[in-house]
Amino acid sequence: MLHSRFAVGVFSVAGACILGATGVSHAQSDESGKPSLSLRATPPIGFTPLRVRLVVEVRGGADDYADFYCPTIEWDWDDGTVSESGVDCDPYEAGKSQIRRQFSTTHIFRQGGRYQVSFRLKQKDKVVGLARAGLQVQQSGER
């Protein structure tokens, strides 16, 4: 299955600056105190089956930023699969509760194509943070 939603270059979506060709995304916000997200996919280009390691760093902002405290994490792989996880946390306390500063995972792409991987931080059904990175996967044997 080939995907045509691959970004080459830089563009802006929902406050996110996305560098799809390099497998790196930086999401930025205009709100003061809000952390930004940076998503790196390694490697951003390869052959099937391609195991990709994705790392999201939460940069800047307050360590107790309420919207980023104890979120549900969603990875949309753009290959028809989505992974979601969450944990139970103590109730939020301003000045005391600490946000998580890094998230990482791996995913195997088994079909060639161009993929736009999305990472979302969610509070209930509301997306409070978003970062994306583009990948290019070649079917083994294609040259």
- pLDDT, one tens digit per residue, over 100-121 is 999 999 999 999 999 999 999 9
How sure is the predictor about 141, in pLDDT bands with cuts at 50, 70 and 90? confident
Is CATH 2.60.40.10 what the domain over 10-138 is classified as, yes or no? yes
Instruction: Identify the burial level of 45 via C-beta atoms within 10 angstroms of its C-beta, where 0-12 means exposed, 13-18 middle and 19 or more buried.
Output: middle
E-only strand ranges, 1-143: 10-13, 16-19, 24-27, 36-42, 45-47, 50-59, 72-76, 82-85, 102-109, 113-123, 126-138
Neighbours of 61 (CB within 10 A): 18
Contact (Cβ atoms closer than 8 angstroms) between residue 53 and residue 106: yes
Predicted confidence (pLDDT) at residue 5 exceeds the cutoff of 60: no
pLDDT at 108: 98
| Through-space distance between the first and last CA atoms of the chain, rounded to whole angstroms | 17
Predicted confidence (pLDDT) at residue 124 exceeds the cutoff of 90: yes
> Average pLDDT, whole number, for the chain?
83
94: Cα within 13 Å, side-chain hemisphere: 0
Alpha-carbon span 63 to 101, nearest angstrom:
9
